[in-house]
Structure 1
Amino acid sequence: MSCFGSCIPTPEAYAKDIIAKMTKTASEGGDIMEEHGADLVRAMAAGELVLDVLHLHDVFSCHKDHAQHLNPETRETCVQRKKLPTVPPMGSLVDELRTSPVDLHPEVKESDGTFTRIIKNLEFKNWGRTVQNRPEVTFLPHSKEAVCNIVKWSLQKGYTTVRASGYRHTWTDLYSRDGQVLVAMLPLCVTNKLPAPIPSIDPDNDLMGIEMVGEIQEPDGATKGLCKIGAATTNQMFREWAVGGYQTDGSFKRSSGWTVPINVIMSEISWGGSNAPICHGAGLRHQTLSDLVHELELVNARGELQVINDKEVLKAAAGCFGLLGIVVSLTLKVDPMTYAVVYAQKLPMELMVPPLQQGDVPLELRTLEHTTSLMLKQAKANFEVRALNAFYAEWFWYIGQKNGWQFCWDVDDGAEADAKPYPEPWREKLQMAEQILGQLLNDFFTLIPALGNVLQAKLLSSLAQFVMPSMKYTEKPIICPVIDALHFRRGVQNMRVYDMEWQIPIPENESGGPDWDLCRRAWWDAINVSCTDPKKGAIRIAVEMRIVGDSGVVMAPFFGNKHGTCSIEVLTTENVKREDWVPFCQSILDKWAEYKDRNGQYLNIRPHWAKEWQGLTVRGVPVTTYLKEAYADRIPEFKAKLAEGARQGGLSPEELSLFKSPLMSEILGDY
């Protein structure tokens, strides 16, 4: 019998019903949300039942060696706190894990004396399904001591590569290799299946955890807290720790009183993984997550714990792609809790990010009969004020929609009394169900491709736009803890996507300030390529743009960008054919690569290290060749600081080869 009850239609039935209705309406040119908003809410209500199953805090957990429904010495699976429910229709998590035999390694122990769990010859796939390999041994440790022992054992057995993985949310090949060693920092039942469970902190896993360890005074007089975070701790765990209140396990916890000012949107990924590629942040006043790193604790190439807190070494080590060792914890500089005051808005595309010329707006996106020069002038001023001053600045275009979504906001330290959780519980469930429904749409269109690319794009973008809030400045804003506003979309992990993102330096204008026209040009170039795509459907989700400040981390793509960075990305569904998606990405990159500054020099554009860039070309040369030039003045400094980090741990720089990534070695060379 289904866990949803014998008399209640299953979420799968609801999904099929609404998909059929929305498909018919879209194919006839109707307004999906106007005609099927009620149906969507009904489907989301069904999705709420799915979420009850997915909240693994109340049903089952996935940590090390809890009580299991199969023999714990032979299987990797999930613990039962209650009777194991029927798994939702998007795939059987338990069935897949039953096929993954887990052994106990006889030579590698945890800190409690138990043997570390391993899976031999398990195929590795990243979250975006763009990287696949088969390490000979995948370790599933739950202690720092185990990670030390893994490295020592790997050296003894002659392995040449040891790499770690978190949520696997990197699209480029920065992982382990065939026949080598992988250290999986998160449980496989979290990383390998959709819908994805949301784990709690395991108190017996010292790779997870959050602890305030002190405070410091910055040169500007600001007080920063020092927060030590286990590398396997997810951003969702940190969010729950920061905001307090009723936790997902039902307990009540007071707010920690601390927060990070910037973060990745997706709350499910690990802190080790979100920090490594040096690319996350938003708002001109902010740098990257890696710029917040005060100290790193890692396992070095001799299997020893090493602490990195030398400020010069941290300029490389704070964001080094795992090339210095397996990071087991990081200590961040955090801020006293403050509160976001959000006026999110859905605006006509012409007025949200105004075009350089009115003709830049494709006909199908025009909503205003008469866009006057005065209207565009005011829109330009509004855009520039937000880009320059907003605490957080990001803009979204969901494919085919005539309105964009503007998510720019500021903070108010004194707004605690008015602050409420965001998303609200109903909106969080709506968002998570929308992502699950989106993946169902993904699967549906894969099975029935004749329904068309454009139709899928319209359905998905309509859903995405529908669940986002919008209000006028005369209305009450959303007031919430900053950490909630940073993680404003929940359930993102439940819908796989392809994603290309590039960081474009904002050049100097004639007055010596940032030339915001660059951002407007990059935005509309991406949109016009999307609208004129001959395949009509390579991009099916969104174009997103955020503004980010400079960075002090050597290999950050924001480094040296005095006037900030336009970070812009395009996203599509995983069922788009690679032979359609890659040329589409190339056509947009070709536009961005041609931008020059006022002196006629090409802008030093660089990719988001964790997104899709392998196999592309920049100005006619392979991207890896291009990146050697783009980072020509940074690579020697980066390698020198890594070498110094090795020496401080008593190692020779050559010993770091154990942690090398073939892809990064192609760019960096030997060190």
Structure 2
Amino acid sequence: MTLNEHIDSSTLVDAERNRSKLSDFIGKVRSGRQSTLKSDSNVEPVKKYSFKNWCGNQQSNPAKIFNPTTLEEIIEIVHLAKANNKIIRCASGCFSLSGSSVVNDEGYLVVMKKMNRMFKPVRVSDNVWTVEFETGVSVKELDYHLRRHDPPLALSSNIAATSLTYGGIITLGCHGAGTNSRTLADHVHEVKIVDSTGTLNTFSKEKDPHEFSAAALNLGLLGIIYTYTLRVEPMFTLIMRDTSPPLDYYLGSAKIGGPRLKAMVLGNDQTQIFYNPFFSKKDGCEKVWFKEWNRTNLPVVESRAMTKFKRLAELCGLTICNVIYKAVHKKPEITPFLAKTLYNGTSMNKQEILHASEALHFLGGIESVPFCCCEMSIKMDENFENVINAWNFVVEQVREYASRKAYPLNLMLEMRFIKSSPFLMSNVYDDDPEAIFCMIEAVSMAGTVGFDEFMGKIGQYWMENFNAQPHWAKDWEKLPGIYPHVRRHGSARFEQFDAVRRKYDPDNMFMNKTFAGVLGY
């Protein structure tokens, strides 16, 4: 058995070789009790490792980078870290925009991408199944695995991108657009984690509800997550409807638009709203792009081949878009023209009937466009008026910046609506299981001039006026006053989480700077 310690050329770069791919063996693990993991001092020419995430906003220089392929190798890495007094953080697809995976000379980075085994689904009842898989499994891989099953299975909601891996998706609280589906972590039936002693622990609601409330969404702070077991269901069909109503109809006046927005959201299984500040049709009226999903018994009329072709076309379009948008960095003044041209070429008035696994991943290749974004959760008030005020503050700021020929927001303002979660570290935590949160985010191309300043102003307004909480996977750490804010509003449940965390990681092996501040360290 060998323990590979090398770098994925798409995301992990060697600082001394300008992103060249390195592959190096650090030793062999002999059968038996004695580990023979070797330090890189015996390996040439590797001197220093470097990590860079997908969009380039997070970089670090860990002491070592590991790519385990088995549970035994994960345990060996933990023992090595303990022996050398190193901390551990994990990554996989490296799509997180926060510093969740950042560790420098004080620790090891464990890349879980090769931990991608999937196990046979288990039937729980007529309409409920569970499926266990390792945390390096991607959305695309699990979709394929579930679709091949007899009967075909699916998650009730999911993220749009398919290249991301479930280790990060679940443990950082990511979500789709399904209001009643909540976050992906809320579908967890069981999770297995290797703690700081190298022990494999199994957490479930049946075994210990309190510990499970910490483990299901744990930010990677309880140990290295080996597998998740999710609840899934028989494949179902969705009507996906796209419309482009005037901006002011739903999102103008809070008093008028709030009840309209509420009725629309509660009337759908899933809802997502997009806005580009420079998108308008020939009548000059600003538009928004609404996507609505609802379950149906109507048959799917489009072949899978045609759906795949459309997703490929979308991928090609987004790849071209990425190339074109790079011109914005050199000439920000072309932002309005470019955005308007691209959005006018997008079909926003159509209806499709698709299987769930195809309808939920509606924009093929979205991850091919590196972007920066900050997303926060806002608990909805009775008539959904507060989120319209939060939305309109962004619109006003975009217009004010544009009056100065500045364009920090060049892709979209976007929001989805999900119900609360009982998990202690969830940013949609609430004691009321029926509480609805708006997940609202501003998105620009990676490297957009002025985005951090713009988002700092937006985030501060959302926090002060709506008690907005950060999405752990997005770019939130630079928001002014963010750590005191999250501590002020979440310290009681964070302390409950930390009590569980200390049981499995008393020496802070899995802690890094990003989350130390959240927990008050």
- Give the TM-score normalised by structure 2: 0.87
Change (3 A) 1:660 1:232: same
Change (3 A) 1:155 1:453: same
Q: How many residues align?
A: 496
Counterpart position of 1:489: 363
- Equivalent in 445, 448, 451 of residue 581 of structure 1: 451
CA distance in structure 2 between the aligned counterparts of 1:174 and 1:382, rounded to whole angstroms: 38
Counterpart position of 1:242: 146
Q: Given that residues 421 and 481 in structure 1 are in contact (C-alpha distance below 8 angstroms), is that contact kept between their aligned partners in structure 2?
A: no
- Equivalent in 311, 316, 328 of residue 214 of structure 2: 316
- Equivalent in 173, 179, 183 of residue 99 of structure 2: 173
- What secondary structure does 1:425 align onto? helix
Tell me if 1:387 matches 2:271. no
- What secondary structure does 1:164 align onto? strand
Q: Residues 515-526 of structure 1 correspond to what in structure 2 (within 5 A)?
A: 515-526=383-394
Tell me if 1:342 matches 2:263. no
Q: Residues 90-105 of structure 1 correspond to what in structure 2 (within 5 A)?
A: 99-105=20-26
Counterpart position of 1:425: 308
- Equivalent in 97, 100, 109 of residue 182 of structure 1: 109
Q: Given that residues 148 and 303 in structure 1 are in contact (C-alpha distance below 8 angstroms), is that contact kept between their aligned partners in structure 2?
A: yes
CA distance in structure 2 between the aligned counterparts of 1:279 and 1:633, rounded to whole angstroms: 22
Q: Given that residues 503 and 568 in structure 1 are in contact (C-alpha distance below 8 angstroms), is that contact kept between their aligned partners in structure 2?
A: yes
Counterpart position of 1:405: 289
Q: Given that residues 108 and 153 in structure 1 are in contact (C-alpha distance below 8 angstroms), is that contact kept between their aligned partners in structure 2?
A: no
- Equivalent in 626, 644, 660 of residue 485 of structure 2: 626
- Equivalent in 505, 522, 533 of residue 379 of structure 2: 505
Tell me if 1:439 matches 2:322. yes
Change (3 A) 1:256 1:487: farther
Provide, for residues 57-104 of structure 1, a one-character-per-residue CA deviation record: whole Å limited to 9, x for no partner. xxxxxxx99xxxxxxx998689xxxxxxxx9xxxx9xxx898333211
Counterpart position of 1:164: 90
Change (3 A) 1:384 1:421: farther
Counterpart position of 1:540: 410
Provide, for residues 375-434 of structure 1, a one-character-per-residue CA deviation record: whole Å limited to 9, x for no partner. x96x7665322211311111001230022110111112x335546449823321221112
CA distance in structure 1 between the aligned counterparts of 2:289 and 2:19, rounded to whole angstroms: 43
Counterpart position of 1:139: 66
CA distance in structure 2 between the aligned counterparts of 1:437 and 1:107, rounded to whole angstroms: 44
Q: CA deviation at 1:669?
A: 2.9
CA distance in structure 1 between the aligned counterparts of 2:390 and 2:279, rounded to whole angstroms: 18
Q: CA deviation at 1:312?
A: 2.2
- What secondary structure does 1:227 align onto? strand
Counterpart position of 2:156: 261
Tell me if 1:231 matches 2:135. yes
CA distance in structure 2 between the aligned counterparts of 1:468 and 1:313, rounded to whole angstroms: 46
User: Once superposed, what is the RMSD of the aligned Cα atoms?
Assistant: 3.2
Counterpart position of 1:355: 252
Provide, for residues 18-43 of structure 1, a one-character-per-residue CA deviation record: whole Å limited to 9, x for no partner. xxxxxxxxxxxxxxxxxxxxxxxxxx
Q: Given that residues 322 and 369 in structure 2 are in contact (C-alpha distance below 8 angstroms), is that contact kept between their aligned partners in structure 1?
A: yes
Aligned-partner residue type, residue 387 of structure 2 = C
Q: Given that residues 211 and 228 in structure 1 are in contact (C-alpha distance below 8 angstroms), is that contact kept between their aligned partners in structure 2?
A: yes
- What secondary structure does 2:177 align onto? coil
Tell me if 1:659 matches 2:510. yes
Aligned-partner residue type, residue 480 of structure 1 = L
Counterpart position of 2:123: 215
Counterpart position of 1:302: 197
Of stretches 314-323 and 177-186 in structure 1, the one that deviates more from structure 2 is 177-186
Of stretches 274-283 and 285-294 in structure 1, the one that deviates more from structure 2 is 274-283
Q: CA deviation at 1:211?
A: 2.3
Q: Given that residues 102 and 117 in structure 1 are in contact (C-alpha distance below 8 angstroms), is that contact kept between their aligned partners in structure 2?
A: no
Q: Given that residues 434 and 463 in structure 1 are in contact (C-alpha distance below 8 angstroms), is that contact kept between their aligned partners in structure 2?
A: no
Counterpart position of 1:636: 495
Q: Residues 464-475 of structure 1 correspond to what in structure 2 (within 5 A)?
A: 464=343, 466-471=345-350
- Give the TM-score normalised by structure 1: 0.68
Change (3 A) 1:75 1:606: closer
Q: Given that residues 110 and 116 in structure 1 are in contact (C-alpha distance below 8 angstroms), is that contact kept between their aligned partners in structure 2?
A: no
Q: Residues 22-101 of structure 1 correspond to what in structure 2 (within 5 A)?
A: 99-101=20-22
Q: Given that residues 300 and 354 in structure 2 are in contact (C-alpha distance below 8 angstroms), is that contact kept between their aligned partners in structure 1?
A: no
Q: CA deviation at 1:267?
A: 1.1
CA distance in structure 1 between the aligned counterparts of 2:302 and 2:238, rounded to whole angstroms: 8
Change (3 A) 1:256 1:464: farther
- What secondary structure does 2:120 align onto? strand
Aligned-partner residue type, residue 166 of structure 1 = S
Q: Given that residues 185 and 232 in structure 1 are in contact (C-alpha distance below 8 angstroms), is that contact kept between their aligned partners in structure 2?
A: yes
- What secondary structure does 2:25 align onto? strand
Q: CA deviation at 1:572?
A: 0.6
Aligned-partner residue type, residue 388 of structure 1 = L
CA distance in structure 1 between the aligned counterparts of 2:7 and 2:108, rounded to whole angstroms: 18
Q: Given that residues 75 and 98 in structure 1 are in contact (C-alpha distance below 8 angstroms), is that contact kept between their aligned partners in structure 2?
A: no
Counterpart position of 2:178: 283
Q: Given that residues 545 and 567 in structure 1 are in contact (C-alpha distance below 8 angstroms), is that contact kept between their aligned partners in structure 2?
A: yes
- What secondary structure does 1:658 align onto? coil
For structure 2, the residue ranges without an aligned partner over 5 or more in a row are 41-45, 281-286
Counterpart position of 2:43: none
CA distance in structure 2 between the aligned counterparts of 1:423 and 1:384, rounded to whole angstroms: 34
Aligned-partner residue type, residue 491 of structure 1 = G
Q: CA deviation at 1:290?
A: 0.7
Change (3 A) 1:233 1:185: same
Of stretches 554-563 and 628-637 in structure 1, the one that deviates more from structure 2 is 554-563
- What secondary structure does 2:375 align onto? strand
For structure 1, the residue ranges without an aligned partner over 5 or more in a row are 1-63, 66-72, 79-86, 187-204, 245-253, 358-375, 472-476, 508-513, 596-602, 647-652
